[in-house]
A and B are shown apart, each in its own frame.
Chain A
Amino acid sequence: MVKFERFTLDNGLRVLIHEDPATPMAVVNVLYDVGARDEHPDRTGFAHLFEHLMFGGSVNIPSYDSPSQAVGAQNNAFTSNDITNYYISLPAVNLETAFWLESDRMLGLAFSEKSLDVQRNVVCEEFKQRYLNQPYGDVWLRLRPLAYHVHPYQWATIGKELSHIENARMEDVKAFFEKHYGPENAILVVAGQVTTDTVKQLAEKWFGPIQPRGKYTRQLPAEPEQQEARRETVYANVPLSSLYVAFHGPGRCDQGYYAMDLISDLLSRGTSSRLYRGLVKERQLFSEINAYHTGSIDGSLFVVEGKPLPGTTMEEAEQAIWEELHRLAGEQVSVYELDKVKNRIESTLVFSEMALLEKAMNLAYFELLGDAENLNRELARFSNVSTQDIQQQAIRLFRKEISSTLIYLSDAHA
């Protein structure tokens, strides 16, 4: 149970407070309601590049990091297809420094050319390190455009290609800031050894004077229901062949999300899970196999990925995966097996309540989804999923006509 208070400033900034007197620390988490899905198709990777620029100095503070480090803080940020999230964790006695830093970069950035030059390079190196210079690193650069033809989920947060980042201009940076980084597009969470009164006072003092810049209304094209199975085969310089099957599934707030999440657990969470037990241990067809989903807001991709052993043909591998998926659609899972994955959800939730930053991030994310109070209803929502729900969701999910299959064939075995 994560208790919190919340209020909204006149400029539209939503503020949530979670008091946790057991820690000497405080966390200030700022979630901006913008992600890679809000980018122009010819300027992808921009939300993430922009996240880097948020550390390049603001209108009154030349450097974000130095004063942060000087008060013993640690900070970072991440960008997803849906959101951009910034956090700073510091000794609670220095809480006001976090308000000073975070409010100034919401007020205005320094827009330094030097920072843009350097961060373009840094992000290009990140692109190479994570996506291009790794075996299978470009999976998501291929899988997303295969599964999505219309919705901006068709590109990864890093962007479609290096040139989009190389071509980013200062005027794009300024326009992006105006459009997405105003107070009405943000959620501020303050957690730790703090009091609601102090936070109210500090929020009014530092964020209150920021003028609203207009709420961004998202109008993204919906992905039409996929009608035909898609596949792509890549011959690549990878040591082992690899297989990815992706399905369109419910979004984070949709009916069916919880059943889908439990299905991924049934398939591959823990060493007793169906895919690991069946296909790695018993039938010995794969060296590794996993099922997971993106949990995105405008619909998820549910992915099964595996590396077949050298003696397994790709056809056998695919068929074996489909057999396991059809088994979930064909016969109801037992109450015992469903309880098993629910028990793991319970302990994971308890565990996450021992981490201050995770609590703060979760509050911000659930508030974005509609109501932070729903964080405390998660366990009940998982508990309410029945064996019938699992079967119904599996039937909807595991259909050839909504699947996209990506195959890496190793040059070594070609």
Chain B
Amino acid sequence: MTDTLDGWEIVIGLEVHCELATKTKLFCGCANVFGDEPNTNICPVCLGLPGSLPVVNEKAVELALRLGQALHCTAKRGVFARKNYFYPDMPKDYQISQYDQPTNVDGWLDLPSGTRVGIERAHIEEDTGKNTHVGGDGRIHGADYSLIDYNRAGVPLVEIVSRPDLRGSEQAREYVGELRDILIATDVSDARMEEGSMRVDANVSVRRVGDNAYGTRCEIKNLNSLRSLGRAVEYEARRQVDLIAAGERVHQETRHWDEAAGRTRSGRSKEEAEDYRYFQEPDLVPLEPEDALLAELVATMPPLPADRRARLAGATGAEPTDSTVVIAVARGLDELALAAVDAGGDPGRVLTHVENNLAVQGAASIDPTAFATLTRMEIEGALTATQAKTVLAELVNGATDPAVVAAAKGFEAMDTSALETAVDDVLAANPDVWERFAGGDGKAGGFLTGQVMKATNGKADGKAVNAILQRRKGAAAR
């Protein structure tokens, strides 16, 4: 789907919650782990028992600041605030979060495809426990009762709020993918949507292309994968466009994505708009980011995906937004590609192979010099593209000398005159097809090439055959 729909622009802002990769929870020394027996990682603090008090985990602050720096945010004085509402997975019936003074503000993230997305804020807050609904079909509506596990209560989160700079479902998916890669690269979070360590809520609105004002947005929750995100955005955009086209208005509300039904549903009851009554958390004190720490975070920042794309592009003469570059980095094969180019490999062939032929296990451990040699063999015509692919597969399996592999497989380039003879034989055997090809039928050319390949048992190089066919065609035209 493109980023417009029948003349409507799909405007998206994303709120992403990520669990931080700390050993312990945000405000207490309970373990921050996924999957333990229910209520085995609890204490008076994360259970919110009467008399308990929170104390901030210094590692959580460090990770939040590191993430902020990776997103080009300004680190600010952070003040914790209470967000007050009743819900049984919240032990204190308020959540300690940050409200008007978040730790990180005003950053940005570049999508691999090039668009810059503004990041309004990335603030620190605590996670809630987990509800399991029993009876009904496991969903909240129609349940007989619910069971609550507080192992997750108090796990540190960073909530990253983007500006509404995303257009369409593709960009939304790209953004989340890029964010995930950044989170993993910086060791801030393992960002597993399927485990809930990264959760995405999408704010979606539509407006006519060319319009400057924003339409009414709806917040979509319960997106458990990139695929759900994409589908939900597309569904919601269509729903809103249809509403407006029918002369109705979009109501600002929270909606839930129903994966099974493939649609969003109205969520919160509309009369009860929540009043969170935010006020500064009196049990905590402000966080002042220290220059020394910030400098250290910047100095020790690992290469981020954008940095890696830029580097690979620079080394190969491609653009950072080229799909070959994006894919190479996304697959973690940029180091290999760089090493291969460094060893004299042909940049174009390297990138092409990475994109088309190396989506396999073990690709990253190919010997870069062998890879480089392989691409040079191709360029020099010693191997066809198809043959190179086969040799490459052997390199993945551990072979280290492409020349040896090629010889073992009997790959030699055909000499030119033998090739020309092979082509002429096929032309003679297929006069009607030849006539059609000479008359401009491209498909006929494909058939002829195929016949040559067959006749030579695959030894002919497809490009060379084409070149000969074109010459014959040119000669016939004269």
Q: Do A and B bind each other?
A: no
Interface residues of B (CB under 8 A from A): none
Q: Which residues of A contact B (CB under 8 A)?
A: none
